[in-house]
Amino acid sequence: MTNNEKPQVDLTAACACGGVTLSVRGRVRSMFLCSCEDCQRATGTGHSAVALVAIGDVTVTGDVASFARPANSGATLTRWFCPRCGTPIYAASSRAPALAMLPVGLFGAAADWFVPNQLIFARSHRDWDIVAPDLPHHATYRNEGGH
C-alpha cells in the first residue's frame, strides 16, 4: 500500500478488560502521527498513531467515559475511554465533528493496513521519539484548517 491509499476496513477491537468494544466499517480518511502535547499525555509516548474515519462508520458497545478539553487549535477535543481499565477508545474534535480519531494501537496485529503519511504538531515533537525521517513534518496541521 502506498502512503496515498485510503484502505477500506472492517475491524472490531476491545479494551483491555473487554468491557468496551469498538467496531469500524468504512474507508479510512487519513492516517497520521500526532505529537501534540495532549496526544503525548494521552499515550504516555512521544506521539499518537491515528486513523481518521467517519463517525457514522464507528459503533461502540459498552459503557465509556469521556474527557473534553480545549485544544491548542481552539477546538474542543473529547476523548472516550473505558472507565474500568482506561483504554483509549476514540477521540473527536469540535473542529471536525463528523470524524472520529481512532487510536491505531487498539487494533493490535489487525492494524497492518496503517501507513502514516505525516507527522502533525511536530513543533512539540521530542527528539527521543524516533519517527521515520522521510515522513513529512508539519508544525501544526498539514494545511491550517485542513485535515
Whether 143 has a pLDDT exceeding 60, the answer reads yes
Q: How confident is the model at residue 146 (pLDDT cuts 50, 70, 90)?
A: very low
Q: Please give the average per-residue pLDDT across 49-54, as a whole number.
A: 96
Q: What is the pLDDT of residue 145?
A: 42
pLDDT digits (tens, 9 = 90+) for 113-124: 999 999 988 999
Strand 21-34 to 8-14 pairing: antiparallel
Strand 99-103 to 48-54 pairing: antiparallel
pLDDT digits (tens, 9 = 90+) for 58-97: 999 999 999 999 987 788 999 999 999 999 999 999 999 9
Element (H, E) at 100: strand 99-103
Whether 2 has a pLDDT exceeding 60, the answer reads no
- Nine-digit cell string for 124: 512539540
Question: What span, in angstroms and rounded, lies between the C-alpha atoms of 101 and 71?
Answer: 14
> pTM of the prediction?
0.88
Q: What is the pLDDT of residue 4?
A: 60
Domains located in the chain, CATH noted? 8-124 (3.90.1590.10)
